[in-house]
Amino acid sequence: MTTLASRIQPFTDALYPIIYIHSYEELKMDEVIRELADGNIHIDEWDLTHKESLVEFLEPYVMGTEDLDEVFIVLKDAHSFLDKHHPENQKIVAMLKKIVNKILADEEAYGNIIIVSPILTIPEELEKYVAVFNVDLPTYEEIKLFILEFAKAYDEKISPEDLEKFATYLRGLTEREINILLNMAIQNDGKLGGIIDETLILNEKKQIIKKSGILEMIDTHESLDSIGGLENIKHWLTKKAAIFKNIKKAREYGVDTPKGVFIVGMPGCGKSLTAKATALLFDNIPLLRLDIGRLMGKYVGESEGNMRKAIAQAEAISPSILWIDEIEKAFTGIGKGGGGSEVATRLFGFFLTWMQEKTSDVYVIATANDISNLPPELLRKGRFDEVFFVDFPKVEERKQIFEVHIKNRKNDSIHWKDIDINALANKTEGYSGADIETVVKETIEEAFIENKVVATTDDYLKIIRETVSISEMLPEQVKSYQEIKQKFKMKPASK
């Protein structure tokens, strides 16, 4: 019997009235339900392709013309009907409650309602009668077995090295997705293994994760050397990387698993770049960006379901970095009333509990521009290892930023020649790192258009005079950032 079926069976045996299986894999769940039925229990299934409406399908069980003994009433595509905004919601919830009461009243009956859905939507009226089962993604060892079985079926051999690599690359995917990618790999060149198949699997995996609409795998080649300034946070992250890369020994020594870092501050001052560089620093582990906007679903419970799905996928892929960009967008409105506040409060509670209790090798990097409306609990020690504030770069940091961006140009030896970096840094107070990057880009672009051999210091200074920095553009917002910095006494990211 499958692991999931063995987890569910005690609940069906105990006549738990509603079993809610939260999964995208309907075919696999069909197998699980058949195993539970074991040939002795009738399976009566409904989905949107059924000739009857859901109300018509449930009515015989409500009226007693269909026996509730020895039956699994399986409902698919039903999550939208369970949402309180659906026009038939009240009637369907009342019918399900009636069936539940009939099951509970008849001690001789052996019947259950089984809901299979990728979206978790549970009406308050039914909460006490529902047991929820999330379908775990395959473990690393299970994936290795899938690969070996697949190779055997195609009479292929796979080297131990390729087996380890493929199992690592396929972490975080469902069994069906793994089979699809293995099929693509073997159809690609007639064999299983090698750099071509590795590249194909990684590229397709990125597409699968992106199509989920919540997480995105980010390619990153940036290192800490790509970041000008921010020496405090760079030094701090380097120490965390030493732990993360030797996590087994660190745990044996008594070191806690690093939880994550919260980076707050000015737009364009290096928060996102730091998140990307951390992935490379932590032994080039996967960087997963959580799209806060797409986290919010239109159905009750969908947002929380999306958060659970994102975290489950990050944990399955671990060791990984979960980058939550603009985290304030998810948790703004808590305690202010209204439906949005309720959703934000539930999301916040789930996220805080996970951060507090997590033991997986998922390192969380949360970035935010404005935390003035965030609950203070998020900033408390125990959630994140540290909270840093990224301010406008100081003069020495501006020198580093100019140097990084000028030397990153295709012919850096030309572009770097005879440039007075001190003059540029002194004329760019209140500029963000993004402002400085724009100055460099536009200066070299102008020099090319004017057929100059090289951009000069005067060319840079001309563009600087024409540039409106973010501190000039948004003075009130900049003032509020400084107030936030003072209020929360966050550790400065710069020396």
What is the per-residue pLDDT across 366-381, written as a single tens digit (0 to 9) for each? 998 877 777 777 777 7
CB-based contacts of 322, cutoff 8 Å, min separation 6: 260, 288, 290, 310, 311, 314, 362, 363, 364, 365
Give the whole-angstrom CA distance, residue 97 versus residue 126. 7
**H or E segment and range at residue 46:** strand 42-46
Question: In angstroms, what is the C-alpha Rg of the chain?
Answer: 28
Give the CATH number of domain 224-390; options: 3.40.250.10, 3.40.50.720, 3.30.70.20, 3.40.50.300: 3.40.50.300
Q: What token pair was written down for 435?
A: 């402002």
32 SS3 class: helix
What is the mean pLDDT of the segment spanning 260-288? 88
Q: Is there a contact between 377 and 387 (Cβ–Cβ < 8 Å)?
A: no
Q: Is there a contact between 99 and 68 (Cβ–Cβ < 8 Å)?
A: yes
What is the mean pLDDT of the segment spanning 423-440? 93
Report which residue type is found at 231. E
Give the whole-angstrom CA distance, residue 250 versus residue 472. 47
Confidence of residue 1 (pLDDT cuts 50, 70, 90): very low
Preceding amide of 475 cis, omega within 30: no
Give the whole-angstrom CA distance, residue 362 versus residue 413. 40
Look up tokens 């004017």; give the residue. 450
What is the mean pLDDT of the segment spanning 168-196? 82
Q: Is there a contact between 266 and 432 (Cβ–Cβ < 8 Å)?
A: yes
Give the whole-angstrom CA distance, residue 186 versus residue 196. 11
134 SS3 class: strand
Closest to 190 in 3D by CA, of 151, 145, 147: 151
Burial 424-434 (b: 16+ CB within 10 A, else e): bbeebeebbbb
The answer, yes or no, to whether residue 2 has pLDDT greater than 60, is: no
Confidence of residue 301 (pLDDT cuts 50, 70, 90): low
Q: How many CB atoms lie within 10 A of CB 167?
A: 21
Q: How many CB atoms lie within 10 A of CB 445?
A: 12
Beta partners for residue 19, in sequence order: 114, 131
Confidence of residue 44 (pLDDT cuts 50, 70, 90): very high
The answer, yes or no, to whether residue 300 has pLDDT greater than 60, is: no
Range of weakest confidence among 5-9, 122-126, 159-163, 477-481: 477-481
For residue 284, the model assigns a pLDDT of 81
Range among 95-99, 191-195, 224-228, 449-453 rated most confident: 95-99
The answer, yes or no, to whether residue 360 has pLDDT greater than 80, is: yes
Backbone angles phi, psi at 369, to 5 degrees: -90, -45
Give the whole-angstrom CA distance, residue 469 versus residue 449. 24
- Domain 3-134 and domain 395-473, same fold? Reply is no
Domain 395-473, second-level architecture: Orthogonal Bundle (1.10)
The answer, yes or no, to whether residue 419 has pLDDT greater than 60, is: yes
Residue of higher predicted confidence among 363 and 161: 363
The burial class, CB within 10 Å (0-12 / 13-18 / 19+), for 245 is middle
Range of weakest confidence among 20-24, 87-91, 118-122, 302-306: 302-306
Backbone angles phi, psi at 166, to 5 degrees: -60, -45
Give the whole-angstrom CA distance, residue 282 versus residue 246. 10
Average pLDDT, the chain: 85
Range of weakest confidence among 1-10, 233-242, 437-446: 1-10
Q: What token pair was written down for 311?
A: 């975290």
Q: Is there a contact between 244 and 319 (Cβ–Cβ < 8 Å)?
A: yes
Give the whole-angstrom CA distance, residue 265 versus residue 268. 9
Look up tokens 């033991």; give the residue. 359
For residue 202, the model assigns a pLDDT of 79
Give the whole-angstrom CA distance, residue 365 versus residue 376. 17
For residue 339, the model assigns a pLDDT of 47
Q: What token pair was written down for 197?
A: 């198949």
Domain 3-134, second-level architecture: 3-Layer(aba) Sandwich (3.40)
Give the whole-angstrom CA distance, residue 390 versus residue 421. 22
- Pairing relation of β-strands 287-290 and 215-217? antiparallel
End-to-end Cα separation, the chain, in angstroms: 59
Range of weakest confidence among 29-43, 76-90, 214-228: 214-228
Tell me: the pLDDT tens digits for 58-115?
Answer: 999 999 888 888 999 999 989 889 988 889 999 999 999 999 999 888 777 778 999 9
Range among 16-25, 307-316, 478-487 rated most confident: 16-25
Q: Where are the domains of the chain?
A: 3-134, 140-211, 224-390, 395-473
CB-based contacts of 200, cutoff 8 Å, min separation 6: 181, 184, 185, 188
What are the start-end ranges of the H helices in 84-159? 89-105, 140-153
Report which residue type is found at 207. Q
